[in-house]
Amino acid sequence: MFALSASSSTLAAILDRTGILLPIAGLSIIVLAFIYNDRTPFTKARRPEVYYLPNALPLVGHTIDVIKKGFARELDMALERSKQSKVGGWHLNVAGQGNIISLSRPEYIEAIQKTYFENFEKGDFTRDRFADVLGHTGIFVADGHTWKHARKTASHIFSAGQFRNWVQVVVHEELDKAVSLLNAVTSTERSSSSKNNTQGVITLPELFFRYTLNSFARMAFGTDIGCLTNDPGCLDTPVAFAVAFDYAQLIINDRIFTPFFQVVEFFHPKGKKMREAVKTIRGFAGGIIDDRLRDRKLNVPKETAPQPGSIAHLAKKDGKDLLDL
């Protein structure tokens, strides 16, 4: 009887201090936890045909599980989840992001990227995170008419004739550089003359990144940014644009999983570094455009005329980069 009286007195004291707000808040949390027992509040329920990751908790979904595992093995974990799924996709729910669905079957990707493309808008979520690097109207962030216009312009570079006379040539020339570099690294003479154990070892992701970036820069802008040469030493030589672009990709990826990323970057040192990277990227792109406009105004050819019948001659015969279109 005494214990009951003490409890009643304690409850009465709490109500005197807080009124009915605290009980209502507590009851609301209980109700929400019952309704959203495996996801964050006010997000759509999972679909039974899509594999829903385990360890989801009421009101927070997979947020705690994602934080515990971190992003150091992000790609490895994505692969593991895809293997666990029998339908070629998986679904998780994270606070601040809502529902996230990852697909790994080619037919699903084709449906999103082609068949039902207009049903899957990038939206403000994507544009906000890419805007400082790609703007608001680029082909990778635009929707509707703006996207169609950008897609139509860019498609000319991949026409049959354009592919044969420019894209294909650039790809093969850059591949020749990569092969020559690998041959130099693995050559017996080079390895035998080495005085350390690191000789003959390269980082393949770095090589592939430089190959891709150098190839695209040549195809899109007709500019060799010097990321890739026949000399293996180029992999240890930083290129300002490449470093800035690589860092920007890393930050954009983090933004996808970071609620209120603008606030975080304002106070975190990586925000300042990102702004410096964007400045480098814009300065590089602006320099290319300024040079091209000046050459057009002065009617200056992009390069010295190549020898007839050479690969370069075939590439320039009808080839155009994006700035020519």
pTM above 0.95, yes or no: no
Q: Is 16 exposed, middle or buried (0-12, 13-18, 19+ CB in 10 A)?
A: exposed
Predicted local distance difference test score (pLDDT) of residue 314: 41
Whole-number average pLDDT of the chain: 83
Does the pLDDT at position 162 exceed 60?
yes
On the question of pLDDT at 155 being above 60, the answer is yes
Instruction: Please indicate whether residue 318 or residue 142 has the higher confidence score (pLDDT).
Output: 142
Tokens of 287: 């320099």
For residues 303 and 120, the model is more confident at: 120
For residue 296, the model assigns a pLDDT of 80
Look at residue 157 and tell me whether its pLDDT is greater than 90: no
Mode of pairing for the β-strands spanning 89-94 and 98-103: antiparallel
85-89, 91-95, 296-300: least confidently modelled range:
296-300
pLDDT band at 15 (very low <50, low <70, confident <90, very high): low
Lowest mean pLDDT across 15-24, 30-39, 172-181? 15-24
- In the chain the first and final C-alpha atoms are separated, in Å, by 88
Across 105-133, average pLDDT: 92
pLDDT at 18: 66
Supply the pLDDT for residue 129.
94
- What pLDDT was estimated at residue 148? 87
Gap between the Cα atoms of 66 and 207, Å rounded: 31
Which pLDDT score, from 0 to 100, does residue 5 have? 56
Residue ranges covered by each domain of the chain = 36-120, 159-324
